[in-house]
Amino acid sequence: MSSRTHDRSHFFKYASFQTAKQVIESKSFRWSSPTKFNDPFDHQAGFVLDFNPDEFAKLLTASIERIVFSDAVPTINSDSLFSAQTLRFRSIRDRLPREEFLRDMHKASIESAAKLPRSIDQFNVAIQEQLCHSRVFCVSERHDNVVMWSHYADEHKGVVFKLRCIDEIDNTLLAARQVDYTDTFIAFPSTGQYIKHMTGEHPIKIASLCWKITLTKHIDWAYEKEWRVHIPLLDESAGNGYTIYSEDPRIFEAVYLGCRMEDEELAVIVELIRRHLPETKIFRGKKSTTAFALSFTEIDEI
């Protein structure tokens, strides 16, 4: 069964000349730990909590009162200790002194509100540590971005690989997910949403929420039009921060050579491609003479 998460037919991977040689010979790519990325916020941006402690305490107390004393039977997911305890109070509500009970609940709610900011801080640290214990493969929608050629392809002396997404071999790029660009950290669920999570009335999918961190970058990076595949290491060692994963040769659809690549290095890359990836097309880059743009012409023979 395919693990496809998108409808794209291909992606692009920028690489330096030396890296390109290794990739072509080994038909493998190096996947990196997020701690090795050039963006210090990547995988390391936390949730931002925006709440009023008094509002939180009042709403939590009111929610407990409604669940415990309402005639309507609440629909509760009792997997959490908090929701299970609330349902137990409901089962003995006829014996509870309501006013005293609510005073105690409000006091407890105030204490919970006071602890929440620190809890979120601790949660952010823990989840960032887990998310960074991983390997990530980053690709782009574009092969002709002038800035990316400068940053990731050896100042236009490297290459860009065009990589196919092939359902028949279920290659890793089928699981790529698009990066979201924003100028703010991800907001933690609102007071109302989080309280319904606590009570079990509407649990939040915490894992899905956390995964958004891996796909969120500052808006300044939007030019990259990045997609990525994320693999948790689980119980594996972090090692040196890199892992080499091999690829099926069929995913290598084309290689684009930088406009500044010297003829001698171009000949080396072309020879390697012909020998190790004979079905792969080769294009040579050229600067436009009328615009800030790159054009590419296929190389038939050299």
Tell me the two tokens of residue 121: 């801080």
What is the rounded CA–CA span in Å between residue 106 and residue 288? 69
Give me the pLDDT at residue 78, please. 66
What is the rounded CA–CA span in Å between residue 163 and residue 23? 12
Beta-bridge partner residues of 32: 136, 242
Cα–Cα distance list, 15 to 22, 130, 262 (Å): 10, 28, 16
Please tell me what DSSP assigns to residue 185: P
Residues of the chain with pLDDT under 50: 1, 302
CB atoms within 10 A of CB 31: 20
H helix runs in the chain, sequence order: 17-26, 53-69, 81-91, 98-132, 146-152, 191-199, 206-214, 263-276
Residue whose structure tokens are 């392809």:
153
What is the rounded CA–CA span in Å between residue 86 and residue 99? 16
Give me the pLDDT at residue 100, please. 96
Residues with Cβ within 8 Å of 292's Cβ and at least 6 positions away in sequence, in order, are 146
What is the rounded CA–CA span in Å between residue 257 and residue 265? 10
Give me the pLDDT at residue 51, please. 87
User: Phi and psi of 231, rounded to 5°?
Assistant: -125, 115
Give me the pLDDT at residue 1, please. 46
* pTM for the predicted model, two decimal places: 0.89
Q: Is the dihedral of CA 15, 16, 17, 23 positive or negative?
A: negative
Give me the pLDDT at residue 301, please. 58
